[in-house]
Amino acid sequence: MSANLRPIAAVPRIALDEVDSTNAEALCRLAAGETAPFWLTAGRQVAGRGRRGRSWTSEPGNLYSSLVLVEPAPAEHLGALPLVVGLGVHRAVAGLAGLDPARLRVKWPNDVLLDGKKIAGILIEANEIAGRRTVVVGIGVNCAHHPEGTEWPATSLAAAGLAVSPDEVFACLAGSLAATLAEWDRGAGLAAIRRAWLDIASGLGEPIVVRLPQSTVSGHFSTIDRDGRLVLRLASGEERRIAAGDVFLPGTGPADSGADEARGGAA
Contact indicator for 46, 18 with CB cutoff of 8 Å: yes
Residue of higher predicted confidence among 131 and 140: 140
CATH code: domain of residue 39: 3.30.930.10
Residue of higher predicted confidence among 15 and 10: 15
Domain that holds residue 233: 207-248
For range 46-67, the mean pLDDT: 73
Question: Residue 262: what pLDDT?
Answer: 35
For residue 257, being part of any structural domain is answered with no
In this structure, the number of other CB atoms found within 10 A of the CB of residue 251 comes to 6
For residue 263, being part of any structural domain is answered with no
Instruction: Give, rounded to a whole angstrom, the gap between the first and last alpha carbons of the chain.
Output: 35
- Residue 46, φ and ψ in degrees, nearest 5: -105, -10
| Residues 58 and 168 placed together within one structural domain of the fold | yes
Digit-coded pLDDT (tens) for 178-199: 999 999 999 999 999 999 999 9
Rounded percentage of the chain residues whose pLDDT exceeds 70? 87
Digit-coded pLDDT (tens) for 206-215: 999 999 988 9
Angle in degrees, 0-180, between the axes of helices 166-184 and 81-94, rounded to the nearest 10? 140
**Looking at the 3D structure of the chain, how many domains does it have?**
2
Q: What is the mean pLDDT of the chain?
A: 87
| Residues 149 and 218 placed together within one structural domain of the fold | no
Question: Residue 152: what pLDDT?
Answer: 85
| Residues 152 and 29 placed together within one structural domain of the fold | yes
Integer Cα distance of 109 and 114 in angstroms: 16
Q: What is the pTM for the complete model shown? A: 0.89
Residue type, 97: A
Integer Cα distance of 180 and 136 in angstroms: 16
| Residues 118 and 14 placed together within one structural domain of the fold | yes
| Residues 38 and 102 placed together within one structural domain of the fold | yes
